[in-house]
Amino acid sequence: MSDIVAPLRDVPIFADLPGATLAHIAGIGERRSVPAGTELFRQGELPKALHILLEGQVALSGAAPDGTVAVVEVVTPVDMFILAAVLTDAPFLMSARTIAPARLLLIPAAPLRALIASEAGLALRMLASLSLQYRKMVRQIKDLKLRSAAQRLGCFLLALASERGGEPKVVLPYDKQLLAARLGTSPEHLSRAFAALRAHGVEVSGMTVRISDLGALTAFSAPDEI
For position 130 contacting its own copies by CB under 8 A, the verdict is yes
CB 210 within 8 A of CB 201: no
Please count the residues of this chain forming the interface with its own copies, following the rule CB under 8 A: 54
For position 139 contacting its own copies by CB under 8 A, the verdict is yes
Which of 28, 34, 74, 84 binds its own copies (CB under 8 A)? It is: 84
Question: Which span sits near its own copies by CB under 8 A: 6-14, 21-29, 64-72, 95-103?
Answer: 64-72
- For the bound state, the minimum distance from the C-beta of residue 41 to its own copies, rounded and expressed in Å, comes to 13
For position 148 contacting its own copies by CB under 8 A, the verdict is no
Give CA 209 to chain center in angstroms.
21
For position 21 contacting its own copies by CB under 8 A, the verdict is no
CB 65 within 8 A of CB 29: no
For position 205 contacting its own copies by CB under 8 A, the verdict is no
The DSSP code sequence of 181-223 is: HHTTS-HHHHHHHHHHHHTTTEEEETTEEEES-HHHHHHHH--
For position 145 contacting its own copies by CB under 8 A, the verdict is yes
- Three-class SS state of 136: helix
Task: Write down the H helix ranges in 101-210.
Answer: 109-118, 120-146, 149-163, 176-182, 187-198
Residue 109: CB atoms within 10 Å: 18
Interface contacts to its own copies, rule CB under 8 A: 43-44, 62-66, 68-72, 83-85, 87-88, 90-91, 93-94, 116-120, 123-124, 126-128, 130-135, 137-142, 144-147, 181, 184, 222-226
